Structure 1
Amino acid sequence: MLRTTKTSLTALAVALATPALVATPAFAQDAESAEAAPLDDLVDQVAIPYTQFELDNGLTVIVHEDRKAPIVGVAVWYNVGSKDEPKGETGFAHLFEHLMFNGSENAPNDYFQYLQEMGATDYNGTTNFDRTNYFQTVPTGALDRALWLESDRMGYLLGAITQEKLDNQRGVVQNEKRQGDNQPGGLVFYEIIKALYPEGHPYDHNVIGSMADLDAATLDTVQKWFRDNYGPNNATLVLAGDISAAEAKPLVEKYFGAIPRGPVNNPAEADVPVLKQDIRKVMKDQVAATSIDKYYSVPGITDRDLTALSVGAQILGGLSSSRLDNALVRDEKLAISVNAGNYAFQRVGILDVGATVKPGVDPAVVEKRLNEILADFIENGPTEDEVRRAATSNLAGTIRGLEQVGGFGGKAVTLAQGEVLAGDPGFFERQMNILATLTPGEVKAAMQKWMTRPAMTLVLEPGEREGEYEEAASVGASDDAAEEAAPAASEITVTKVRPAPEISQLTALDFPDVTEAALPNGIKVYYAQRDTVPATRVTISFDAGSAADPLDKRGLEGMTLGLMEEGTTSLNSRELAEAQERLGANISTGGGVDRSSFTLSSLSANLEPSLELLADVVRNPAFDPQELERVRTQTVTSIQQALKSPSGMAYYVATPLVYGKDNPYGGSGTVESVGALTRDDLVNFKQTWLRPDNATIFVVSNLSLDEVMPDLTEAFGNWSAPATPKGKKDFSSLATVPESARIVLVNRPNSPQSFIVGGEITPFSSSDESIVDLTNANNALGGNFLARLNMNLRETKGWSYGVRGAPRLDENAVAYFIQAPVQADRTGDALAEMIREVDEFVTTRGVTEEELTRNVNNEIRQLPGQFETSGAVLGAMQRNVMLDRPMDYYETLADKYRAQTAESLNAAARKAINPDGFVWVVVGDAEKVRPQLDQLGLPVETIEVE
């Protein structure tokens, strides 16, 4: 059968047109009356044209043609998830997702090897309650290879599943579970599921499953799981990008057509449970502040109430101007943050509304007010303006997301999700049509229907966790017992030989041409045109960053940028949020250690008023004293929370040890430093650093430069620099590499995993010509999935969910870091392996010819896919300017990679990495971990972090 839709993105540029607003104090009044085009006009233009057909074996195929780049997004969705798991087999769907990356009969090696050979980008696999999916974006010339690879694991996998692979991936998944459980609040979702869904309900268990069920998985049970669920008639293949349906059909038939049908999983029917009465649960964990959340059982994605409930949740606590934000955070200052969201699955959903209590406030007061606001909203419903702002924000986000063909989001996922979960690839269009016509009355009715039922309230308080972790049977077993239990090597059985197709000639990267211009006041403008979607991104970047903080005022830059988002001299924080929502615009701050930036993401039709809004934020911040205290409390709490997480603690300790505590890169804001900042400090920082003579503007738009420049000139062209001197950073202090490595152990009791960070400063600068050699050499050691550190600790030993190492390329220093979360009982063994791998890499076992070939091919072939989106182009332009590179830098990389040799890569690695220069920071349970570390022959210091 063949079905083709005929909708398109034509004329989207005229959507959401808004009358011009002026960047003066009058903006406050104009923002209230700004009118966007009717939402249904916008929805008419938002579509993903597709063709759908089905093979004789039942495989559903959907093709979307998008010729913007020589890449194709490939997505395979299987109609099976954790809700389909029988009792005793929880976690099997997710475990099988891992096994399907471990090789098939004709592609027996790790699938990441084949993906890198193709130059794939945006590749991964995920499992949730309802489906399992695999996706990659590949160069057009590698599409045959990608289809061969996906079809081999669909039809020819079982002969490659060995006991060794099962045992290894079981260990990896159990470490993934430990990693999640080890986070502050990591045990909360288990309690939510247990409360909302009775035993026997399809959604009554977490996707990752239980340790006991994972321990019990056998080759027979996992092979049966595959036979029952992974046939072509239980799958959907989506191709989105540089391909037509006519081109796709013979290719799909060639690679998938011979795979026989299998059983079809009919997703379990599941009602929306109704609690008999309200449930209340109080938990303690390593959190900085108490949070209160209410959870409601609501319907799944195909229910019409879905959109109404989602919009209602946004209005309650999702929008920046939400009711809970305005009442609890801005006006009454009882909470430091609020949240609300509707998390919809196929059959059911969970609507969450909550608040994080401001330290020093009685949580009972916050909970009472939360319930009062909820009750009022449910009884009276939202206003027309609130519904419109929520809908406009949603649609603007959808438009921006349509730029990507694959990855975790984008067009392939949108089509696949609609087909698998709703039986309609165009399901998103139905949702948007509802969104465009949604009324306040419908939102009110949905809230009254679903949110007047009994709910679960969960209070998470600071404190030590109570109870024990569920642990795997392998932990605690002796090494001798583990060796005795290890199976003999298994042979891979090939049922049908299917040679891999050749990768065709690939198209080289064509980075967009970048034009330089200047505003009347001298601000440089770098512009690139991308016309895939009618959207514009503008960044105004200042040579500042957190490195501009005085040593005794660390956190100043972050606080300054935070306050600038909270109101101008003409718009308070609420009005500023509402103005962005009406325009479908988003203004965010960031930039990192070297730059401070403000980025506007705007619909091009609304660029002029959106730029005026950005200019108001950048040029006219109010620095309201009351907002200062609110943001200070939020910032202090976020610092305290970061020091509760394993990774946050590790980098807090490691950073000053690597860079030196007096280096601008050597620290971040503390409770004390942020607590001492004054309004004058913020004003002085802006005057010193965030000024036109320290600014650069970057633009990526579907509009021409001639169309953009008048709006930029109006917004920023008459901005004059203050008389005060411009800021200057001092990098004269930099840590020296120590003579010998050492270990700092940070005690975090009751941790099922340890988090390891190793770091050292290198003699490189980010402008060194050979930095490309260092980064590609690192691809063999720690830079990607196939790197030695990850393959050893994850894919061979199963002690970690993932290990990475990489140089950090800052403007004024290059450091090298390795990080690894590892199971607690293997902390010493894992660190010993990491030290050995690093030492061998720079002495006796450098980059091999096989690694060189694989990594050079991967780097070259993935270049076109790396710059698919305007956001990626915008980021590359900023990096080029910061690191003093030419704008065609990325187009020159292919030749640089081709010129690399094993010798050149090894020379760069040996120059940068000194095995004796590392400081290793380990965050874990000192009682369990210290004896392991004492065996390594390095000095060990145990500390506590408050």
Structure 2
Amino acid sequence: MHRSFGSALATSFLTLALTACAAQPPVASAPAAPAAPVARDEPAPLSALVAAVDIPYESFTLTNGLTVLVHTDRKAPIVGVTTYYRIGSKHEPRGKTGFAHLYEHIFFGGSENVPSFDKPLEAAGSTPSNGSTWYDRTNYVETVPKGALDMALFMESDRMGHLLGAVSQDKLDKQRGVVQNEKRQNDNQPYGLADYAVGDGLFPVGHPYRHATIGSMADLDAASLDDVRQWFKDHYGPNNAVLALAGDIDVATARPLVEKWFGDIARGPAVKPVAAEPVTLPAPAKREMTDQVPVLRLSRNWSGPGMNEPDALALQVGLHILGGLSSSRLDTVLVRNEQLAVAVTAGAQPFEQVSFLAAQMDVKPGVDRARAEARFDQIIAQYVAEGPSADELRRAATSILSSQIGALEEVGGFSGKGATLAEGQLYSNDPAQYKKDLERVAALTPAEVKTALQRWLGRPVFALAVVPGDRTEKGEAMGGWGDETPGAAKPKATKPGSAIKPGPKRATPPVAPVADLAVPTIERTTLSNGIPVALARRTAIPKVIVSLGFDAGYSADALDTPGTQSLMLKMLDEGTTTRSATQIAEEQERLGAQIGSGGSQDTSSITLTALTANLAPSLELMADVARKPAFAEGEVARVRDQQQAALSQALANPRALAGRELGKLLYGSHPYGQPIDGLGDARSLAALTPAALRAAHDKWLRPDLARITVVGDVTMDQLKPLLEKAFGSWQAPATPKPVKDLAAAIPTPRPRIVLVDRPNSPQSVIVAGRVLPLTGRTPDMEALDLANEVIGGGFLSRLNMDLREDKGWSYGVSSGVRSPAGPRALTVGAPVQADKTGAAIQAIIADMKAFPAKKPVDAEELNRVTDGNIRALPNRFESNGDVLGAIQLNQLLGRPDDYYATLASRYRAIDGKAIDATAKTYLQPEGLTFVVVGDRKQVEPQLKRLGLPLEIAPAVDGGAAAGGD
């Protein structure tokens, strides 16, 4: 859900490159020659990759200090509007932790001339419209059709300069409740308290990076209306902001619009800098936490230099080699070779003035803790002493640069080109800082990385262990300044001050007409062995996505053993008849490629993301992974243990646990009754052997069940010979194709509540659903999609506005209608504070019953879900991945290639009567099965009062022992 500080990406190009394989530009591209030959056998040089990352821009500054950056990208008729303010949680004084983030929420609550920011933006086709807060900054993003830019700039200027008259005690109280439920939701996850402990362990009380951005419950309770108003006056002046406009825009168009809307806003006080240096601990420190987690998690933590310091990039690359690469030191030794861990990671999370340096290990159940811990520390120490090899460094640099090229697809959002420019300006006084950083990454030497590692990781470490058991600490007492007196009286919110008189009325500009969507042309061919191929050529970036999909998926486990498909797919890159798992990982990294395998209910797939210049060797590697997995006994045992650990994690996660339980109750023995995460269960996993996985591979991953879908910078003339070489000789076995029975019987709906006891849960996770008398292949279901948007399919939906925005009981409520090939299901999800569990179910039922009986769709909702979706269509196809997903969904549901080209006309033909009729038929609460995962002692009395049959689910056995002592 939006406005989550936790969803924000780290403030650096490198973290962006390592964590976001972008979702980005055009709907259609003009034909152009690919960037480089696709038949290259050797990887492209780093210099060529650096040259491919370029975001040209122009800038200007208004007299009031607002800095404006403009990047022109004409590939789609959209503009990313990205606003950064130099105010984050590090600026918060004692007693006001969480304030920057709370204010970010209030900032969306309407200004003097805009009652709601979400409604007009969504109706105008903005995707996304969001905001986030972290230590150094607060940002707001929306990507709008070009015709809505004038309105978007008006709205951003209205909340920058015309907000105070609209801030009320009621808005403060409601958003305070939302933020506190966001904190509860984060705390309620396995390992959800660990970040608090890291901040406490690395920094002394009062250090600006010590307390959590979400803050403490006590400080949030104490926030007053006068506090909020003063926070705005002190920090939200234009001279503390950077506005980036990226997309179908240029400076000649942007400057008069920006001057028109922002020029009359007065300068504010400059945000005062804070002193915040890295801290060297006087001696190694340890902390142990007991929590409701399935496996022992060990971490090693240090504070490090700010992002502009000389060692920052070397540390980021160095830690990526230690535990970020697939072939990392920690992965190779602890997970693959010695099998002491089920998961490892390492990385540097850089901020403006400090960075968080960490390595983490999830100990394999049954392994002696002392042995695992000693080996973990030994590998880190050995790596710091030796430094990386030249080959490791080149592989890391190539993977980073390839990811950054992918990030060029997106113009807006949290990770797009606008954010990259704005962060460079805000933190380094240079929008093009990303370019310097990439050049520096490409030029790093092993000696430089080694020196940086020794300088920073050679200092005393803070070691944290999260041990399986009962949770003994409470999140509501964590995240604050750190010197609060337990049990002390909490300050009371001051009474609302006198109302602030709004300024002169400003009229919202209209949204200009939006052109119809231009979808990429889809070319089709067939390989010599019958595999169909679809290609959508897009030349925005020199990359290609290739998906090899099979008619299998997790529902195929109905014909095998639960968990088979998932484990078999995980094994594909864990060794082939010609390559080891480490060799596969290293080869991907040298090529700047990524090969991943996974499943959904209906489909199993292997997906390659490759640089166009390295497509030929990347496809050869993909074919080896797909066609020749080894299923070596030792590797199967290792990966099976990892899947068992993943199952244990799912069963410890309240949302994942609720989803698994609901699917079983809705579908029963139907193929869709298999666990929705594909993990199977402890008993079935224990039975899976190399022979069983090899049989499943041969049964389901065969060319007569396959199709290939490609999107990116390649022509069909170039592509087909490469695919023919990689896959054309693959012949189907003589055995008949397996067929899943998607027409199997579904259990008769039985309305009830099933309670899964999860003690000490500050929130309850509510999920509900029922199977509809529809299949995914039912045509003309657009009215159902729009009706679902009205009730629960977005931020402005009735369910979310009621339980989140009006009542403040939840961080986000949603509903959805799944679109598999077989029977569709209506689902609702609502994590709510524990003491409101029963009341929340009552509210969900009441809201659904009222639509349309007491509250038919109104004109504003109709406009939002019809015109808003029409205007948002270009945004839905910004990246190669977006286009790939659309083509695959059309293929799954049997829709024509021009489905999205005709979708606007379909939406225009849907009126309020059609939406109401669909809601009455399909979106009523009758027949819903509710699953509640929460603290039985607190929740059961509430549920008994609802009048629905109540069942207590049996205790869940994850089948994994805790890590050794």
Q: Same fold (TM over 0.5)?
A: yes
Of 540, 545, 549 in structure 2, the residue corresponding to residue 541 of structure 1 is 549
> What residue in structure 2 maps to residue 47 of structure 1?
54
Whole-Å separation in 2 of the counterparts to 1:19 and 1:521: 22
Q: Aligned partners of 2:30, 2:815: CA distance in 1, in Å?
A: 45
Superposed, 1:351-390 pairs within 5 Å as 351-390=357-396
Deviation at 1:471, TM superposition (A): 6.8
Letter in 1 for 2:82: A
1:719 equivalenced with 2:724 (yes/no)? no
- 1:554 corresponds to which residue? 562
Give the alignment partner of residue 702 of structure 1, picking from 695, 713, 727. Answer: 713
Match of 1:698, SS? strand
Distance 2:264 2:669 in 1: 63
Matching residue's letter, 2:681: T
| Preserved CA contact (<8 Å) 1:649 1:945 | no
Distance 2:217 2:360 in 1: 30
Q: Give the alignment partner of residue 186 of structure 1, picking from 187, 192, 211.
A: 192
1:104 aligns with 2:111: yes
1:743 is matched with which residue? 753
Partner of 2:133: 127
Q: Secondary structure at the match of 1:945?
A: coil
Shift of 1:583: 0.2
Distance in structure 2 (CA, Å) of the matches to 1:381 and 1:487 = 59
Gap change, CA 1:204 and 1:11, over 3 Å in 2: farther
Q: 1:679 aligns with which of 677, 687, 690?
A: 690
Matched, 1:651 2:662: no
Shift of 1:422: 1.6
- 1:945 paired with 2:951, answer no
Contact 1:65 1:240 (8 Å CA) reproduced: yes
**CA shift for structure 1 position 666:** 4.1
Structure-2 separation of matches of 1:122 and 1:407: 7
* Letter in structure 2 aligned against 1:748: R
**Matched residues in 2 for 1:199 and 1:518: separation?**
65
Q: Could you tell me which of 865, 868, 871 is aligned with 1:861?
A: 871
Taking a change above 3 Å as real, the CA distance of residues 845 and 12 of structure 1, as seen in their structure-2 partners, is: closer
For residues 8-157 of structure 1, what are the structure 2 equivalents within 5 Å?
20-21=40-41, 35-109=42-116, 111-157=117-163
- Deviation of residue 429 (structure 1)? 0.9
Deviations 1:870-921 (A, max 9, x none): 1100110000111000011011111111111111112222222342200111
1:570 partner SS? coil
Matched residues, percent identical? 49
1:398 to 397, 404, 408: 404
1:176 to 168, 179, 182: 182
Q: Answer yes or no: is the 8 Å Cα contact 1:297–1:349 preserved in 2.
A: yes
CA distance 1:492–1:527, change in 2 (3 Å): farther
Paired with 1:147 and 1:125, the residues of 2 have a C-alpha distance of 15
For the residue of structure 2 that corresponds to 1:928, the secondary structure is helix
Q: For the Cα contact (< 8 Å) 1:16–1:36, is it kept in 2?
A: no
Deviation at 1:161, TM superposition (A): 0.4
State the match for 2:598 in structure 1.
Answer: 590
Question: Over residues 414-442 of structure 1, what are the superposed CA-to-partner deviations in whole Å (9 max), with x where a residue is unaligned?
Answer: 11111111211111111111101100000
Q: Which amino acid aligns with 2:831?
A: P
Match of 1:909 among 907, 910, 919: 919
Residue 789 of structure 2 aligns with an amino acid whose one-letter code is N
**SS of equivalent to 2:671:** coil
Q: Provide the C-alpha distance between the structure 2 equivalents of 1:488 and 1:911, rounded to a whole number of angstroms.
A: 46
C-alpha spacing 1:318/1:11, structure 2 compared with 1 (3 Å): farther
Comparing 585-594 with 236-245, which one deviates more in the overlay? 585-594
Of 567, 574, 581, the residue aligned with 2:582 is 574
CA–CA separation in structure 1 for the residues paired with 2:780 and 2:499: 43
User: Using the alignment, how far apart are the partners of 2:949 and 2:31 within structure 1?
Assistant: 66
Alignment TM-score, normalising by the size of structure 2 = 0.92
Distance across 2 between alignment mates of 1:231 and 1:799 = 32
Aligned to 1:800: 810
Find the aligned partners of 1:662 and 1:10 in 2 and give their Cα distance.
46
Match of 1:523 among 524, 531, 540: 531
Distance in 2 between residues matched to 1:262 and 1:797, nearest whole Å: 34
Contact 2:777 2:822 survives alignment (8 Å): no
Which residue of the other structure, out of 888, 891, 903, is the alignment partner of 1:881? 891
- Cα RMSD for the two superposed structures: 2.0
| Aligned 8 A contact 1:776 1:905 in 2 | yes
Q: Which residue of 307, 310, 317 corresponds with 1:304?
A: 310
Segments of 5+ residues of structure 2 without an aligned counterpart are: 1-28, 479-491, 958-965
**CA contact 1:121–1:865 (8 Å) conserved in 2:** yes
The amino acid that maps onto 1:59 is: L
Would the aligned equivalents of 2:222 and 2:493 in 1 still touch at CA under 8 Å? no
Other-structure match for 2:211: 205
Q: Report if aligned partners of 1:763, 1:911 keep a CA contact under 8 Å in 2.
A: no
Deviating 4+ runs (over 6 angstroms): 9-19, 484-492
- Are 2:44 and 2:591, in contact at CA under 8 Å, matched by a contact in 1? no
Matched residues in 2 for 1:737 and 1:98: separation?
Answer: 43
User: Where do residues 804-823 of structure 1 align in structure 2 (5 Å cutoff)?
Assistant: 804-823=814-833
Q: Structure 2 vs 1, CA of residues 485 and 133 (structure 1 numbering), >3 Å: closer, same or farther? A: closer
| Equivalence for 2:484 | none
Equivalences for residues 815-854 of structure 1 within 5 A: 815-854=825-864
Q: How much does 1:64 deviate?
A: 0.3
Alignment partner, residue 905 of structure 2: 895
What CA distance in whole angstroms lies between the structure 2 residues aligned with 1:460 and 1:204? 19
Shifted more, 502-511 versus 135-144: the winner is 502-511
CA contact (8 A) 2:225 2:495 kept: no
Write the distance in 1 (CA, Å) between the matches of 2:43 and 2:785. Answer: 47
With normalisation by structure 1, the TM-score equals 0.94
Q: 1:703 to 1:435 in 2, by over 3 A?
A: same
8 Å CA contact 1:52, 1:60 repeated in 2? yes
CA-to-partner distance for each residue in 1:829-870, whole Å, 9 max, x for gaps?
A: 111101111122253323223311221111111001110111
Amino acid at match of 1:705: M
CA contact (8 A) 2:64 2:238 kept: yes
SS at match of 1:315: helix
Task: For 1:608 and 1:325, locate their aligned partners in 2 and report how far apart those are by CA, in whole Å.
Answer: 27
Which is bigger in relative contact order (C-alpha 8 A, separation at least 6)? 2
Counterpart amino acid of 2:630? A
Which amino acid is the alignment partner of residue 851 of structure 2?
F
- Counterpart position of 1:25: none
1:670 maps to what in 2? 681
Distance change (3 Å), C-alpha of 1:491 and 1:220 = closer
Match of 2:326 among 320, 323, 326: 320
Contact 2:43 2:613 in 1 (8 A): no
For residues 316 and 254 of structure 2, what CA distance do their matches in structure 1 show? 36
- Tell me how far apart the structure 1 counterparts of residues 745 and 353 of structure 2 sit (CA, whole Å): 57
Superposed, which structure 2 residues align to 1:321-340 within 5 Å? 321-340=327-346
* 1:607 paired residue number: 615
Residue in 2 that maps onto 1:497: 505
* Residue matched to 2:626: 618
Query: Structure 1's 792 and 350: CA in aligned 2 closer, same or farther, altered over 3 A?
Result: same
Q: Is contact 2:298-2:362 (8 Å) kept?
A: yes
CA deviation map 1:512-565 (0-9, x unaligned): 011111111111111111111011111011111011113660111101100012
Please list, as runs of the form range in 1=range in 2, the aligned pairs for 1:343-358 lying within 5 A after superposition: 343-358=349-364
Q: Report how many residues are paired.
A: 912
SS at match of 2:853: coil
> Quick check: 1:18–1:583 contact (8 Å CA) kept in 2?
no
**Separation in structure 2 between the aligned mates of residue 725 and residue 846 of structure 1, nearest angstrom:** 51
Give CA deviations for 1:679-720 in whole Å, capped at 9, x if unaligned.
121111111111111111101122211111111111111211
Aligned residues of 1:762 and 1:913 also touching (Cα < 8 A): no
Q: Which amino acid is 2:270 matched to? A: V
- For residues 712-747 of structure 1, the C-alpha deviation after alignment (integer angstroms, 9 at most, x for no partner) is 1111112111122211102343324425x2111111
CA distance in 1, matches of 2:364, 2:613: 40
2:254 alignment partner AA:
A
Distance change in 2, residues 1:663/1:893 (3 Å): same
3-state SS of paired residue (2:945): helix
Q: Distance in 1 between matches of 2:812 and 2:660?
A: 21
CA deviations 1:199-242 (Å, max 9, x no partner) are 12111200011111111111111110000000000000000000
